[in-house]
Amino acid sequence: MRGIILVAGLLLTGPALAQNCANTQTQTDLNICSYQAFQTADAALNASYRTLMAKLSPAGQTGLREAERDWVAYRDAQCGFETMGTQGGSIHPLVLNQCETALTQAQTRRLEAQLHCQEGDVSCGGQ
């Protein structure tokens, strides 16, 4: 569902989403640009996830896979809750994308921290 966006009755995917976000003037522009920001954050998260998976032990890989699956469910539920007040409004996609982007960026920082653990750091799991 996140791979597409419905704006003003138009189904947009991939390159059709390309937007000059430096000069947004409409709610539709803001919605599209916020979605692009989320896509960028999600791509960074996926890159960090893949890099960390390659570094982990088999047990660590299982733990990360489960944690990440649960984290995605948390992100979606949390942002759904936080944006309930805008549901049905034209601003809802913007607010939802901003929430999902912020949580995704925070999760990327957590995964990146796991990639750069100092020897003996007990806060690093599954290494």
Rounded to an integer, what distance in angstroms lies between the CA atom of residue 76 and that of residue 78?
6
58 in a domain, yes or no?
yes
Kindly state the average pLDDT of the residues 123-127. Answer: 67
73 in a domain, yes or no?
yes
94 in a domain, yes or no?
yes
Q: Among 2-6, 84-88, 121-125, where is mean pLDDT lowest? A: 2-6
CATH code assigned at 84: 1.20.1270.180
What's residue 122's pLDDT?
79
The percent of residues above 90 in pLDDT, for the chain, comes to: 70
115 in a domain, yes or no?
no
pLDDT digits (tens, 9 = 90+) for 83-98: 999 999 999 999 999 9
16 in a domain, yes or no?
no
Q: Is 100 helix (H, G, I), strand (E, B) or coil?
A: helix
What's residue 127's pLDDT?
64
15 in a domain, yes or no?
no
Checking if the pLDDT of 7 tops 50, the result is: no
pLDDT digits (tens, 9 = 90+) for 46-73: 999 999 999 999 999 999 999 999 999 9
Q: Tell me which residue of 97, 90, 98, 95 sits closest to 28, measured CA to CA.
A: 90
The number of domains in the chain is 1
Helical ranges in the chain per DSSP H: 27-55, 58-82, 92-115
78 in a domain, yes or no?
yes
> How much is the pTM?
0.81
pLDDT digits (tens, 9 = 90+) for 19-49: 688 888 899 999 999 999 999 999 999 999 9
Q: Residue 73: give the domain boundaries.
A: 27-106
91 in a domain, yes or no?
yes
